[in-house]
Chain A
Amino acid sequence: MATTEMTAALPLPAWNFWGETLRATVLLGKREIRTVLRTPAYLIPNLMVPIFFYFVMVGSLEEFATRSGIENWQAFQVPVGILFAVQSGSAGLNMVADIESGYFDKLLLTPANRLAILIGAMGADFFRIMLQGAIVLAVAVPAGLHFETGLPGMVAMILILSVWGLAFSAIGFAVALKTGNSQATQSIWTLFIPLMFLTTAFAPLEALSGWLKVAATLNPMTYVLKGMRSLSMQGWDTGALSEAILAVVVFGALTMTMAFLSMRGRVK
């Protein structure tokens, strides 16, 4: 049977590519949110731990920091607390669960755009991340935080840091799609340690020295923190904010590319 004529197809009804892709993205995002809400045990620690961390850092070091010349230690720490929050929770774990249960294949068997599966999941994750970030502010403000740029600055901070959180979660999605393994996906939180500690989270850049200063200068999070602290401590500083946004965009472009490549690798 060398060159058999292949059968011609019957026509199918029209398919609105962009309309259906958008619809699938929203539907899959809604399912993702439903999944999170049906497993509150997964959400609650992610909300509690960053608040705990923020108050411990403020309570234990405020006195010491003030004596070292940092006037508004709470405003210095609040971006760190929010960063902690937006990076908490292993993104991609629901996707691994779908891969392990075989449901992911079921989704791939539908005509829905494959990217809608990833973007829907990430979109839903963005809401989780924003909620986790906002709750730190919601607790810190009544506890005495003075935020220099007020409510508009807080909104800007939550948005920028949530995009950072999403960029961080993209690593989780990349690993989830690449390995289909929950332990590997869960382990990405360890990346959080160098990002969080080799930076200016606990002291200004000038106070760091030697290799730590070099590492902090290379860490994109240093620039994010600088921009966020300009909002909480100084006032609207276009230069510092631009640097922060650039750092988020570069980091995000890198991690999103990883996630999309992993998606492509999996569906081949």
Chain B
Amino acid sequence: MRAIQTERLRKEYSDEIIAVDGIDLQVEEGEMFAFLGPNGAGKTTTVRMLTTLLRPTSGRATVAGFDLLQDQHAIRRTIGVALQEAGLDPLSTGRELLQLQAQLCGLSTTDSKRRAQEMLELVGLTDASERNVKTYSGGMKRRLDLASALVHEPRILFLDEPTEGLDPASRQSVWQEVQRLNQRGMTVFLTTHYLEEADRLADRVAIIDHGYVVAEGTPAELKASVGSDVVTVHVGYGMVEPAKSLLSTLEGLRETRTNGSSLTLFVEDGTQAVAQVIRLLDGANVELGAVSVAQPSLDEVFLKATGSRLEGAAAATSEDNSDGNH
């Protein structure tokens, strides 16, 4: 069974601002699916649509088999959601918040109390459970938010940038927790702009940029689709274009992408190519910086599909979490 399926799902805020431009997705039940892209690519908007918070402009979707436009109530009973900004009531205690969340999801008062206790233990907040949420640290809030998304035992878990703003240790613990939930059969749909997160966690990845899905597959498939080794060459100022034309004769060259003062060459055999690159550029007196060869990563997949690097894009806009608020 498909946990999530979308057909030409689209959200436009005005004629100029199209946040999500007709995407088709299939997420199988029990799968860990990552939606990878830079900030502002349309990830949050997609999550807000699939979780019934935002009405699509057009297109169709089912979540857990329920129609997104017809049966939102059933969808809300089936999903758990942790949004990018942990949405918590600062004047409730952790326990009150979890218990209320469970009750609103239809659990009896007794079951709600039991589940709240289980969740507090799961995320390690038992000691802080009687304190107001406003006294919690950022990491504690994130853990409580995750607990509140899980308290009613959802079939599908949506996580929007689950590790954004977390320190490395907290990030590891969120990853472990999410993996454990997925191993127990929960479908997980997570958005991220961290390549490593998508690569490490996901069974399948869809890469989104400017509202389009530009590539989709398992991390291994995606990297294999690059079909080659990746040679990155840094050259002196103003040398990128001359270098590009010099290197166009390179043996086994499939594709060249330029980015700032560096060139990324997709080649059949990286080690062989490096020697040639140095010879060609040195012979033409092109100022040469670092040259490296690597197996392709998801960043190269992104680069090949969109023409820019995700890492750079993510860094440039990491202060701007306005994705979805266009």
**A→B interface (CB under 8 Å):** 1, 4, 6-10, 12, 15, 20, 23-24, 27-28, 31, 34-35, 38-39, 98, 101-112, 268
- What residues of chain A lie closer than 8 Å to B60, measured between beta carbons? 6
Residue B297 CB within 8 A of the other chain? no
7 closest A-B pairs (Cβ-Cβ)?
A102-B87, A9-B65, A110-B104, A106-B87, A7-B2, A111-B76, A112-B104
B43-100 interface with A by 8 A CB criterion:
51-53, 55, 60, 62, 64-67, 71, 73-74, 76-79, 81, 83, 85-92, 96, 100
Residue B129 CB within 8 A of the other chain? no
CA gap between A23 and B103 in the complex, in Å: 9
Q: In this complex, what residue of A is CB-closest to B99?
A: A27
Residue among A24, A103, A107 with the most chain B CB within 10 A?
A103
CA gap between A165 and B106 in the complex, in Å: 32
Q: CB < 8 Å: which of B5, B51, B78, B106 contacts A6?
A: B5
Q: CB < 8 Å: which of A10, A20, A107 contacts B65?
A: A10
CB distance from A176 to the nearest CB of B (A): 16
Residue B1 CB within 8 A of the other chain? yes
Cβ B7 vs Cβ A4 within 8 A: yes
Cβ A102 vs Cβ B83 within 8 A: yes
Cβ A27 vs Cβ B55 within 8 A: no
Q: CB < 8 Å: which of B5, B7, B67, B76 contacts A110?
A: B76
Q: In this complex, what residue of B is CB-closest to A13?
A: B106
Cβ A12 vs Cβ B87 within 8 A: no
CA gap between A39 and B76 in the complex, in Å: 32
B256-288 interface with A by 8 A CB criterion:
none
Cβ A268 vs Cβ B55 within 8 A: yes
Cβ A109 vs Cβ B89 within 8 A: no
In the complex where A6-B62, A9-B66 touch, is A103 in contact with B53 (Cβ < 8 A)?
A: no
CA gap between A266 and B65 in the complex, in Å: 26
Cβ A109 vs Cβ B103 within 8 A: no
Residue B191 CB within 8 A of the other chain? no
Cβ A102 vs Cβ B104 within 8 A: no
Residue B163 CB within 8 A of the other chain? no
CB distance from A118 to the nearest CB of B (A): 14
